[in-house]
Every structure is written in structure tokens, then in C-alpha cells.
Structure 1
């Protein structure tokens, strides 16, 4: 399954608002999407609560994994951007 490592760009990390935006995008994807920290257990990216359990702060590397390349790129771009701006 293709994956991409991206650095969290949001100034407050992946808390409620960024997690909800990412989860909404992942839920609309045609295939499952997971997020994980390097060496960590993958979580369902369609769940804002599961995203928040990663504890990812600004600058944390997150691995996005999915079989759909456009979805992979879109979720990676969201994680890298400052969703609180």
C-alpha cells in the first residue's frame, strides 16, 4: 500500500479542528486511509478522535497510507498545511 511521510504544519498540531477536516476528507475517500507515527500503530484517518490519539504536534512526522494516490496526496497536503490559519 502506498504511503507518504509528511510533517504536521498546523501550529497547534492535529487537535480537534484539523483532525475533523482530515477525517472528513478521509471519510469521503473511495478506499480506507490510515495515519501513523513512525513505528506506531496505524489509526483510521476517517475518525477525528483516532487522529487526535496520535498526539501529533507541529513538526511531528505522520505517515499517510492508502491505495488511492489522489487521496494520499490530498490528506498529506492537509496535514502539512496550517489548518488553524
Structure 2
């Protein structure tokens, strides 16, 4: 399983539109994708309720994990979303 620690650069954090884009990109992945806030428990990145429930804000560190053949590409897309909003 590939993993990345990312500091959220988007001013609005991972709320509303960025969260929807994040979940949409995660849902397009072939394998399992999870996200955790800091060292907390990971939640399914394909669930908008789970992602919104993390209450990720600008400057928070998150850990994104993905498995499957496209794991690195998925992590690249998700990292871009949390940095650009």
C-alpha cells in the first residue's frame, strides 16, 4: 500500500467542493483508498461523509493511502486536490 503525508495547502481545507473532488478522484481508483487526519484512524476516502467528518482544515497534516496498480497516480491526484483546493 502506497502512502503519503500531506500538509493541506488549500485555504478552505478539505470541505465542500474540495472534499467532493477528493472523493470523486478516490472513487475512480481501482483499489482501496483511505485518509486519516494526523495519526488518527483512517476512513474510506470514497465516502463524502467520512471525509467531511475528519474536519480537515488548512495546515492540517493528513495521511492518504492507496493500493492497486494505479496507487501512485491516485496519490498524485489526491495530493493535488488538497494542495490546490
Alignment TM-score, normalising by the size of structure 2:
0.89
Q: Which moved more, 1:23-32 or 1:8-17?
A: 8-17
2:21 paired with 1:21? yes
The secondary structure found in structure 2 opposite 1:77 is: helix
Unmatched 5+ stretches in structure 2: none
Q: What value does the CA root-mean-square deviation take over the aligned residues?
A: 1.0
2:52 paired with 1:60? no
Instruction: Answer yes or no: is the 8 Å Cα contact 1:37–1:63 preserved in 2.
Output: yes
2:37 paired with 1:37? yes
The secondary structure found in structure 1 opposite 2:65 is: strand
Aligned to 1:79: 82
Instruction: Answer yes or no: is the 8 Å Cα contact 2:34–2:45 preserved in 1.
Output: yes
Alignment TM-score, normalising by the size of structure 1:
0.89
Number of aligned residue pairs: give it: 82
Cα distance between partner residues in 2 of 1:14 and 1:75: 11
